[in-house]
């Protein structure tokens, strides 16, 4: 950790040695570990995090589910048709409005059905993810609990 | 200040409210450089949502508080199977071909209209400032105006930093501004640059006029001590780990504690952590500042950082910082200033929280030390001095 140019600065607040405080934190953790203070901790959530980090796939799944959720609600309603200027600007807008109204007559039913389907699929994917996430959490805790039971039942259990 | 310059700020998005460091910085630069008499024009896309990269705003030019914002449509048909495959492989740190890199870069919010504008109208601008590096507007905009460009890469130490296209763009810009010494080291080594090509002072932070910690607690109904996190909420930023550590400190350690989250994107909060986490989504600037001042400490859980603005804002609010030891920027600043603690695992996190709770005077003193550090090294006044000098040098003899 080098912050070369940042090292030279003046501080008026009372002196504090952050490194000494971090050493104290680590010493407290060491003492508590030795005394068994953490043995009843439920660390399944953190354990599953380590496991997921090795897998790395859930990052992508979460990201793409978010994107799908936002993309599924396609806006096929009216939008403002504006002119890019020029001599025929107003005629261009008029013509585009007529074309859009004609198109909308033919495409509305198709688009609305497609959007309904997309939204349902997106919702199904989201709820499937939430369900499986919950199940993984529950099973991770169960595995951690069973491991703990095995550890307590004898030295050879692990 | 020297003569007023015409400065173009090029950014993929320009949002009134954002928690993304590089975007906050571009908005701040626009406001502050225009207030110092420069003619500032922000060149950006019509995109609002960084997940979908869909055009939301109308293209065209609007005037805002002393500067102009010109929006260009982002290119359609951004996402293809090839892009997704390249994105996945790059984020995993796998080696990809140069063709795959190009395909990937084109999918990161590029705008052909913006690039064309730079080529046609670019001569009217003295200096361009591009930020961040990993986005389509910089990848494709920078080459056309590179000799007059200042690049603020905001590049974390992530797999992208080792791509050939990234190295090329780093070499193209005559001058780079890093957000920290750690980022400077990364930039120098990634592109094998001469040391005088990279300066360290890409951003500044200034204190708010006032902070209302009690008001924050009342508005959001928080009575117990809480840790605060503001910024992008993703696994890559270590937020899922922070949620687990904080909820473990409360659930297993018996500490009466909450974790308050604010910022962009969402992250699934596990069932067992829900009682200990309060998700406030987006907060306005004053509300965020009040939250920083009301918190026991602000957390920086990200193992990859470039600017790391939130911890500095926390120090300005007079509160300490709790940083993941893997995040080299903030952990180093905590060590240097005495303004915070760093942790390696859930147990150290819990004990660090206890240490802060035990002695409020000490926690406040840590905050004050951090504040002194930021005011002296990271004020906007200082950052703008560096940036103006760099811009003047790049503009050279232009009329």
Residue pLDDT, tens place only, B27-52: 989 999 999 999 999 999 999 887 78
Looking at residue A143, its pLDDT comes to 84
Tell me, what's the pLDDT at A32? Answer: 93
Look at B328 and A122; give whichever has higher pLDDT.
A122
Of A130, A149, A141, A125, nearest to A68 by C-alpha is A125
Query: B211: exposed, middle or buried (C-beta count within 10 Å: 0-12, 13-18, 19+)?
Result: buried
pLDDT value of residue B23: 79
B270, B316, B341: which to substitute to probe chain A, counting the most A Cβ within 10 Å?
A: B270
Residue B371 has pLDDT above 50, yes or no: yes
pLDDT-derived band of residue B227, with 50, 70 and 90 as boundaries?
very high
Task: Write down the pLDDT at residue A1.
Answer: 38
Among B120-124, B306-310, B378-382, the least confident range: B306-310
Q: What mean pLDDT do residues B17-36 have?
A: 83
Return the residue in B369, B379, B383, B386 with the most chain A beta carbons within 10 A, the one to mutate for interface testing. B369
pLDDT digits (tens, 9 = 90+) for A32-61: 999 989 888 877 777 767 655 554 677 778
What is d(CA B322, CA B241) in angstroms, rounded to the nearest whole number?
A: 13
Determine the average pLDDT of the residues in B293-303: 94
B-chain CB neighbours of A33 within 8 Å are 347
CA-based diameter of chain B, in Å?
A: 67
The mean pLDDT of B332-349, rounded to a whole number, is 93
B346 and A16 within 8 Å at the Cβ level: the answer is no
Least confident of A19-28, B83-92, B112-121: B83-92
Residue A42: which H helix or E strand, with range? none
- Of the candidate ranges B108-112, B126-130, B259-263, B284-288, the one whose mean pLDDT is the lowest: B108-112
Which of A157 and B205 is assigned the larger pLDDT?
B205
Give the rounded distance of the alpha carbon of B90 from its chain centre: 21
Please give the structure tokens belonging to residue B66.
């002393």
Query: In this predicted structure, what is the pLDDT of residue B215?
Result: 95
Length of chain B: 399
pLDDT at A53: 55
Tokens standing for residue B381: 């006044």
ipTM above 0.85, yes or no: no
Instruction: State the pLDDT at residue B398.
Output: 60
Higher pLDDT, B172 or B285: B172
- Which of A6, A9, A25 has the CB atom closest to B351's CB atom? A25
% of chain B surpassing 70 pLDDT: 96
Report strand pairing: B297-300 vs B277-279: unpaired
Chain A CB contacts of B200 below 8 Å: 5-6
| Full 3-state SS string of chain B | CCCCCEEEEECCCCCCCCCCHHHHHHHHHHHHHHHCCCEEEEEEECECCCCCCCECCCCEEEEECCEEEEEECCCCCCCCHHHHHHHHHHHCCCCCCHHHHHHHHHCCCCCHHHHHHHHHHHHHCCEEEECCCCCHHHHHHHHHHHHHEEECCCCCCCHHHHCHHHHHHHHHCCEEEECCHHHHHHHHHHHCCCHHHEEECCCCCCCCCCCCHHHHHHHHCCCCCEEEEECCCCHHHCHHHHHHHHHHHHHCCCCCCEEEEECCCCCCCCHHHHHHEEECCCCCHHHHHHHHHHCCEEEECCCCCCCCHHHHHHHHCCCCEEEECCCHHHHHHHHHHCCEEEECCHHHHHHHHHHHHHCHHHHHHHHHHHHHHHHHHCCHHHHHHHHHHHHHHHHCCCC
The sheet that has B258-262: what strands, in order across it? B277-279, B258-262, B226-230, B297-300, B321-324, B340-343
> What's the pLDDT at B261?
95
Query: Quick one: average pLDDT of B128-137?
Result: 93
| Residue B397 pLDDT > 60 | no
Chain B partners of A46 at a C-beta cutoff of 8 Å? Answer: 241, 244-245, 248, 346
Residues B335 and B332: their CA atoms lie apart, in Å, by 5
Across A42-46, A74-78, B161-165, B200-204, the highest mean pLDDT is recorded for B161-165
Closest CA to B165 of B265, B71, B273, B90: B90
Residue A86: strand, helix, or coil: coil
| Lowest model confidence (mean pLDDT) among A102-111, B291-300, B333-342 | A102-111
pLDDT tier, A11 (very low <50, low <70, confident <90, very high otherwise): low
Q: Find out whether B182 and B329 touch, Cβ atoms under 8 Å.
A: yes
Higher pLDDT, A105 or B149: B149
Whether pLDDT at A135 is above 70: yes
Any A CB within 8 A of B124 CB:
no
Supply the pTM of this predicted model.
0.74
Q: What distance lies between CA A37 and its chain's CA centroid?
A: 32
Angle at CA B263, nearest 5°, toward B262 and B264?
Answer: 150
Give buried/exposed letters for B172-187 (b at 16+ CB in 10 A, else e).
bbebbbbbbbbbbbbb
Q: How far apart are CA A87 and CA B12, in angstroms?
A: 33
Which residue of chain B has the CA closest to A49?
B241
Task: Compute the average pLDDT of residues A96-123.
Answer: 86
Residue B391 forms contact with A (CB below 8 Å)? no
Contact assignment for A1 to B273 by CB distance below 8 Å: no
**Section B104-128 average pLDDT:** 90
Nearest Cα of chain A lies from the Cα of B373 at a distance, in angstroms, of: 7
- At residue A5, does pLDDT exceed 80? no
Question: Smallest CA–CA separation between B352 and chain A, in Å?
Answer: 6
Q: Region B306-330: what's the mean pLDDT?
A: 90
Size of interface A-B (CB pairs under 8 A): 145
Look at residue A2 and tell me whether its pLDDT is greater than 60.
Answer: no
Question: Is residue B323 a contact partner of residue B340, using CB atoms and an 8 Å limit?
Answer: yes
On the question of pLDDT at B17 being above 60, the answer is: yes
**List of chain A residues whose C-beta atoms are within 8 Å of the C-beta of residue B372:** 9-13
Q: Mark which residues 35-64 of A lie under 8 Å from B by CB.
A: 38, 40-43, 45-46, 49, 56, 58-60, 62-63
Work out the pLDDT band at B276, boundaries 50, 70, 90: very high
Residues of chain B neighbouring A6 (CB-CB closer than 8 A): 180-181, 200, 332-333, 336, 373, 377
Band of residue A3 on the pLDDT scale cut at 50, 70, 90: very low
Task: Please check the confidence at residue A149 and state whether its pLDDT lies above 90.
Answer: no
**pLDDT, greater one: A88 or B247:** B247
pLDDT at A14: 64
Instruction: Confirm if B127 and B395 have CB atoms less than 8 A apart.
Output: yes
Rounded to the nearest 10 degrees, what angle do helices B136-145 and B112-121 cross at? 20
pLDDT in tens, B228-252: 999 888 777 889 899 999 999 999 9
Q: What local confidence, expressed as pLDDT, does residue A4 receive?
A: 44
* Alpha-carbon Rg for chain B in angstroms: 21
Which residue does chain A place closest to B367, by CA atoms?
A: A13
Give the gap in angstroms from C-alpha A6 to the nearest C-alpha of chain B: 7
Q: Give the nearest partner residue to A3 out of B245, B332, B372, using CB atoms.
A: B332
The pLDDT of residue B286 is 92
Q: Calculate mean pLDDT across residues A124-149.
A: 84
């Amino acid at each position: 950790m080098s912050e070369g140019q940042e090292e030279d600065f003046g501080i008026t607040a009372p002196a504090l040695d952050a490194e000494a405080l971090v050493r104290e934190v680590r010493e407290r953790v060491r003492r508590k570990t030795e005394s068994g203070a953490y043995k009843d901790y439920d660390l399944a959530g953190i354990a599953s995090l380590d496991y997921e980090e090795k897998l790395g796939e859930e990052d992508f799944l979460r990201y793409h589910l978010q994107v799908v959720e936002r993309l599924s609600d396609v806006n096929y309603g009216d939008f403002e048709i504006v002119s890019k200027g020029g001599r025929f600007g107003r005629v261009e807008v008029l013509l585009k409005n007529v074309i859009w109204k004609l198109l909308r007559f033919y495409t509305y039913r198709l688009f609305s059905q497609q959007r309904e389907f997309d939204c349902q699929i997106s919702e199904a994917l989201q709820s499937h993810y939430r369900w499986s996430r919950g199940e993984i959490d529950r099973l991770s805790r169960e595995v951690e609990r069973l491991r703990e039971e095995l550890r307590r039942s004898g030295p050879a259990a692990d | 200040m020297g003569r007023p310059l015409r400065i173009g700020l090029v950014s993929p998005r320009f949002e009134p409210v954002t928690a993304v460091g590089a975007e906050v910085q571009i908005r701040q630069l626009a406001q502050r450089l225009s207030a110092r008499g420069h003619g500032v024009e922000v060149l950006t896309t019509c995109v609002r949502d960084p997940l979908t990269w869909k055009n939301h705003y109308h293209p065209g030019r609007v005037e805002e508080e002393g500067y102009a914002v010109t929006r260009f449509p982002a290119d359609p048909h951004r996402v293809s199977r090839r892009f997704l495959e390249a994105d996945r492989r790059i984020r995993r740190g796998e080696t990809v071909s140069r063709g795959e890199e190009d395909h990937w870069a084109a999918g990161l919010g590029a705008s052909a209209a913006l690039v064309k504008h730079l080529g046609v109208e670019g001569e009217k601008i003295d200096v361009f400032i591009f930020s961040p590096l990993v986005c389509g507007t910089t990848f494709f905009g920078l080459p056309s105006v590179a000799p007059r460009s200042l690049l603020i890469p905001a590049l974390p130490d992530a797999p992208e930093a080792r791509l050939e296209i990234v190295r090329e763009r780093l070499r193209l810009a005559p001058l780079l501004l890093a957000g920290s010494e750690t980022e400077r080291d990364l930039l120098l080594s990634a592109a094998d640059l001469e040391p005088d090509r990279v300066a360290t002072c890409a951003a500044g932070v200034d204190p708010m006029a006032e902070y209302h910690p009690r008001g924050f607690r009342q508005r959001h109904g928080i009575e117990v001590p809480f840790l605060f996190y503001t910024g992008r909420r993703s696994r890559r930023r270590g937020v899922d780990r922070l949620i687990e550590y904080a909820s473990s400190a409360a659930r297993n350690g018996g500490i009466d504690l909450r974790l308050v989250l604010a910022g962009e994107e969402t992250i699934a909060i596990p069932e067992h952590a829900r009682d200990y986490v309060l998700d406030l989504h987006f907060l306005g600037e004053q509300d965020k500042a009040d939250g920083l001042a009301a918190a026991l400490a602000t957390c920086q859980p990200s193992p990859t950082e470039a600017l790391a603005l939130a911890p500095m804002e926390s120090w300005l609010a007079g509160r300490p910082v709790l940083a993941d030891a893997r995040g080299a920027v903030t952990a180093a600043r905590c060590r240097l200033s005495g303004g915070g603690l760093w942790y390696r695992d859930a147990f150290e996190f819990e004990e660090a929280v206890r240490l802060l709770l035990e002695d409020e005077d000490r926690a406040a003193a840590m905050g004050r030390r951090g504040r002194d550090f930021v005011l002296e090294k990271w004020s906007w006044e200082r950052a703008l001095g560096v940036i103006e000098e760099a811009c003047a040098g790049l503009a050279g003899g232009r009329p």
